[in-house]
Amino acid sequence: MTAGEALALPGGKLPDGVIAALVDGKPVDLAHRLETDARVAPVTFDMPEGKDVYRHSSAHIMAQAVKDLFPTAKLTIGPPIEEGFYYDFAYERPFTPEDLEKIEARIREIIKADKPFQRSEMSREKAIEFFRQRGEDYKCELIQGFEDPSVSMYDQGGLIDLCRGPHVPSTGHIHAIKLLTSAGAYWRGDERNPMLQRIYGTSFPTKELLDAYLHKLEEIKKRDHRKLGKELDLISVTDEIGPGLILWLPKGSIVRLQIENFWREQHQQHGYALVYSPHVARLDLWKTSGHTEYYRENMFATMKVEASDYQLKPMNCPFHIMMYKTHLRSYRDLPLRYAELGTVYRYERSGVLHGLMRVRGFTQDDAHLFCRPDQLEEEVARVLDFTFFVLKTFGFSDYQVFVSTKPEKAVGSEEEWKQATGALEAALKGRGVAFSVDAGEGVFYGPKIDIKIKDVLGRSWQCSTVQVDFNNPERFGLEFVGEDGHTHRPIMIHRALMGSIERFFGILIEHHAGAFPTWLAPVQAVAIAITDKHAEYAKKVVHRLTAAGYRVEADLRSEKMGLKIREAEKAKVPYMLVAGDREMQDGTLSVRTRGGANAGTMTVEAFLEHLRNDVEGRGLAGIPPVQ
């Protein structure tokens, strides 16, 4: 389009679903007038930019409704977020569910009024005075932090709010909106600041899309690992021990043991040396690694031991570096691959702790590889193959891959960054893996690959990462003797396949809805005696199966069989083995599978063979469908 044209003239007909525009790639309002010739493209809700515009506008409508009903509430910020939006208000009390119903009713009235979103600009000084007169102290504070001489605001016929935009053309463009919950939140996320009242919501172009999303939320609640972790007797968190510190109960420990055994077995097969390191070290080690400089706020306080300061470890990497330094290394020794299930401790604020997903003490699925520069691409490729194999084994085959490149503040030369980034991209391309580039989002010490897995509900989880490090080999003076007889600097790769055991376990619980595949299940089968006279036969069945190495229990209670089966299903046991008169006489079992299916009658040895195939194949049929 050419300069001077408006993207959408008043009364002009727009294509269905267009709510904003991209001008040379930048989202703008449809009322925007071009200052120069530009490439223009429509924005719809189906696009990431469209979802942001739609839900940001929804947040403004909600803010207007709150101000109409609660005039003393002060405005702060209201951004779009993944799958929704929120707005924070300074108000004297928390908002109740009844308040949310009233706000939602007022939102519907505002949408029906179909008032236009109108953008205007004002100098910083005038804007501060404008909001000061309205008692909006938080808006004044925000504007004072801006560097631009002018700010933009939006008037929607009942609320004038500070905002960069863009927005939908009018309030009537929002069709299906739902307020979800309210919670406390500190101003600017700082616990030293006042507590605000946050309202979360979501919005969609159609009621059908909204209903589908609300159904998904119900499924998420049913699968919540904190709920299932308690119901299935897997984990516990208590105030007496402290927030963010997990107790692994016997059944949870069994699942964890299977994960760790698989991890160790596979690492040994993939050429890694398994190592162990202490939980504490002298503070000087963390000074050398740079953690005290770059990571101090996430580290626990130091402890004094014999006049020296010691630190609980937040990372395992410095220990693996010191292992490398125990010998003079030759180019023939490389690559070296150290792997450790290393427990680390990080100070997370109480407000962000969340079950197993965000904790203060956790075990990292950690490894560090030391290689020559010419080995980098091959080592990254090996890590990728290993990662995808492990993820698939646990039921994850849908994922997104990102390559993060050099940030503004970084160590290492341009040549090193170019070589390392090229090696990451070449390894991905060589395996036909599609990826996106996160420009400037690499860590300061090198570029990285991040892999986000998608669970059965379509949610993304960051677990696997591959990071190239120029910094630590330099800081610790790592060397190897090259083929030329001179010393050279190795490249270090930080690598995690699952991330932390705790978080991965939480994801597994929710992905499988607690119904783990048989190889992971804490109890793989339960033998159910119909009456007391069948108890001895059930015991013999259990003895045979446990002797073969499987996790099998007997239910010998004097209860009705239907109750026993229901309780076994509630406990997510993969197999129920019913033993009655006929089974005892014929040496067979009536086999039921989790979910109520009848697998028929089979001999004990036939079931043992079936169980063996299920476990050794690590079958993933246990993933329940989303209802």
Q: What is the DSSP string of 248-314?
A: E-HHHHHHHHHHHHHHHHHHHHTTPEE----SEEEHHHHHHHTHHHHSGGGSPPPEEETTEEEEE-S
Q: What is the mean pLDDT of residues 274-294?
A: 92
Which has more confidence, 617 or 282?
Answer: 282
Which range, of 225-234, 319-328, 409-418, 458-467, averages the lowest pLDDT? 409-418
611 and 500 both lie in a single domain: no
Q: What is the mean pLDDT of residues 369-394?
A: 94
In a domain, 209, yes or no: yes
Q: What percent of the chain has a predicted confidence (pLDDT) above 70? A: 96
188 and 147 both lie in a single domain: yes
pLDDT of residue 623: 37
Give CA–CA dist 140/143, Å, rounded: 5
Tokens of 551: 């996790």
State pLDDT tens for residues 473-522.
Answer: 999 999 999 999 999 999 999 999 999 999 999 999 999 999 999 999 99
Tokens of 412: 């290492």
Sign of CA dihedral 117, 119, 122, 128: positive
Give CA–CA dist 63/76, Å, rounded: 10
Q: What is the mean pLDDT of residues 139-165?
A: 94
579: nearest Cα among 614, 544, 619, 615:
544
Give CA–CA dist 183/163, Å, rounded: 23
pLDDT of residue 412: 78
In a domain, 517, yes or no: no
436 and 549 both lie in a single domain: no
Task: Check whether the bond before 335 is cis (ω within 30° of 0).
Answer: yes
303 and 353 both lie in a single domain: no
Q: Is the pLDDT of residue 626 over 50?
A: no
Q: Is the pLDDT of residue 541 over 50?
A: yes
Number of domains in the chain: 4
**Largest alpha-carbon pair distance within the chain?**
92
Q: What is the mean pLDDT of residues 402-411?
A: 87
Give CA–CA dist 576/593, Å, rounded: 6
303 and 345 both lie in a single domain: no
591 and 559 both lie in a single domain: yes
Of the pLDDT bands very low, low, confident and very high (cuts 50, 70, 90), residue 627 is: very low
Within 10 Å of residue 533's Cβ, how many Cβ atoms? 11
383 and 415 both lie in a single domain: yes
pLDDT of residue 552: 97
Of the pLDDT bands very low, low, confident and very high (cuts 50, 70, 90), residue 441 is: confident
Could you tell me if 321 and 472 are in contact, meaning their C-beta atoms sit under 8 angstroms apart? yes
Q: Is the pLDDT of residue 376 over 60?
A: yes
In a domain, 237, yes or no: no
259, amino acid identity:
I
Q: What is the mean pLDDT of residues 117-123?
A: 95
Q: Is the pLDDT of residue 2 over 60?
A: no
Of the pLDDT bands very low, low, confident and very high (cuts 50, 70, 90), residue 556 is: very high
In a domain, 54, yes or no: yes
pLDDT of residue 353: 86
pLDDT of residue 4: 53
The CA distances from residue 404 to 25, 465, 467, 611, in Å, are 21, 11, 9, 44
347, amino acid identity:
Y
Catalytic residue set: 317, 346, 364, 366, 368, 448, 494
Q: What is the mean pLDDT of residues 534-544?
A: 95
In a domain, 65, yes or no: yes
**Where residue 571 sits, what CATH number does that domain have?**
3.40.50.800
State pLDDT tens for residues 316-330.
Answer: 999 999 999 999 999
Rg (CA), the chain: 29
Of the pLDDT bands very low, low, confident and very high (cuts 50, 70, 90), residue 414 is: confident
In a domain, 21, yes or no: no
Q: What is the mean pLDDT of residues 452-462?
A: 91
Q: Which of 315, 336, 364 is the C-terminal boundary of a domain?
A: 315
189 and 272 both lie in a single domain: no
pLDDT of residue 7: 59
**Where residue 96 sits, what CATH number does that domain have?**
3.30.980.10
In a domain, 466, yes or no: yes
353 and 474 both lie in a single domain: yes
81 and 130 both lie in a single domain: yes
Of the spans 348-352, 542-546, 558-562, which averages the highest pLDDT? 542-546
Give CA–CA dist 503/359, Å, rounded: 8
In a domain, 212, yes or no: yes
Whole-number average pLDDT of the chain:
92
Q: What is the mean pLDDT of residues 206-228?
A: 95
Q: Is the pLDDT of residue 162 over 90?
A: yes
Give CA–CA dist 95/309, Å, rounded: 47
pLDDT of residue 131: 95
173 and 208 both lie in a single domain: yes
Of the pLDDT bands very low, low, confident and very high (cuts 50, 70, 90), residue 6 is: low
Range of the domain at 307: 278-315
Q: What is the mean pLDDT of residues 227-233?
A: 96
Of the pLDDT bands very low, low, confident and very high (cuts 50, 70, 90), residue 434 is: very high
536 and 495 both lie in a single domain: no
State pLDDT tens for residues 9-51.
Answer: 444 456 778 999 999 999 999 988 888 888 889 999 999 999 9
Q: Is the pLDDT of residue 379 over 60?
A: yes
